[in-house]
Amino acid sequence: MKNNRYILLSLAFIALAVNYVKAQLPSYNTRIKLLYQQINNKLRDSTEGLYYETSDKAKNENKHSYLWPLCAYIQAANEMEVIDPSKDYMQPVEKAIDQYYTDKLPFAGYQASVTKEKPDSRFYDDNQWVAIAYLDAYNRNHKKRYLEKSEMICRYMLGGLDTVAGGGFYWNEGDKSSKNTCSNGPGILVLLQLYNITHNKAYLNTALDVYKWVNKTLQAPDSIYYDNIRLRDLKIGKAKITYNLGTMLQSNVLLYHITKDHKYLGVAEGIAKAGRKYFFKKGRLPGGYWFNAVMLRGYQELYKVDGNKDWVNFYQEDADAIWNTERDANNMLGTKPERSLIDQAAMIEIYARLQELK
């Protein structure tokens, strides 16, 4: 009897302690404001209208950030505007991204580094992430430039689509050694969003072709997605990363909305269950905040359809753990001494999406 009473008291104490810790956590809105402030304080070059890769300039490869962290930050800026439409968070990031533009033939697009600083490679996925953020913005505010830039990016990315290995987009314009889920999942999303806006059937048909190719070529038996196919020998790179699952999860939900075919919703739910089981271990998601932010996009879309809180609760648990255990004295997040732009942007996106879901 005493042992049972002790166990019950212990469980009650633990529950009280957990609730106390949760009560002490700042709101998602507060966390977003703190992170946004530190990006402007420590990671923005206001003179050039550009951003730094990390807070330690001595460790940065370039004077200013690669485009990839700005892919995260432009989406984060969009999500901040979702929860606070009175502000214009996107414009300064958009102006920075404009400095990566190149009209190099055969199609204009954005390169990996600031154009005036050095010539660099162009990656199809970098361009696609920007287009996804711009299309999300266009669906909110109908600013024409966001649609026009997204259509420009789509023309660029379609230049990276062919029938080698059966189909799919390349990853790097200048290196045709692989086709990756990270350039095909977001490519599908760009095409589906453009179809929703323009009703041009060619966008939908191409999206379906790429969707079928990814599922045939790069989906594992457990419904998680592999990373890439190497083209010289068709060997599959079997790394499993959260963002690859996220884009394909979101693609299925969008296809459900477009076609009204419940098979896509069933596939989405299967992918979501597999992803949560595979990636969420001991109360945490794997490292890589931005990869996880992209995966949240898919879970958020599914949650809006079926209202299943399982798709949200584990993200809340991980996001709170990050704030509690991976935050420095300046309220910047990360696991390295130097704090990176992509990490701060990713967590802004995650907290903003969780705020919206509340």
Spatial separation of the C-alpha atoms in residues 315 and 280, rounded to whole Å: 9
DSSP state of 285: P
pTM: 0.93
pLDDT for the residue 9? 46
Taking the CA atoms of 252, 239, 150 and 158 in sequence, report the sign of the dihedral they define: negative
pLDDT for the residue 24? 81
Spatial separation of the C-alpha atoms in residues 337 and 277, rounded to whole Å: 31
The per-residue pLDDT for range 137-161, each reduced to its tens digit, is 999 999 999 999 999 999 999 999 9
For the chain, give the mean pLDDT. Answer: 94
pLDDT for the residue 314? 98
pLDDT for the residue 5? 54
Spatial separation of the C-alpha atoms in residues 341 and 35, rounded to whole Å: 10
pLDDT for the residue 4? 54
Query: Which segments in the chain show pLDDT lower than 50?
Result: 2, 7-21, 23
Spatial separation of the C-alpha atoms in residues 263 and 226, rounded to whole Å: 22
Segments making up each domain of the chain, as ranges: 29-357
Spatial separation of the C-alpha atoms in residues 358 and 112, rounded to whole Å: 36
pLDDT for the residue 3? 54
Domain 29-357 classified CATH 1.50.10.20? yes
Strand order in the sheet with 175-180: 170-172, 175-180, 226-230, 235-240
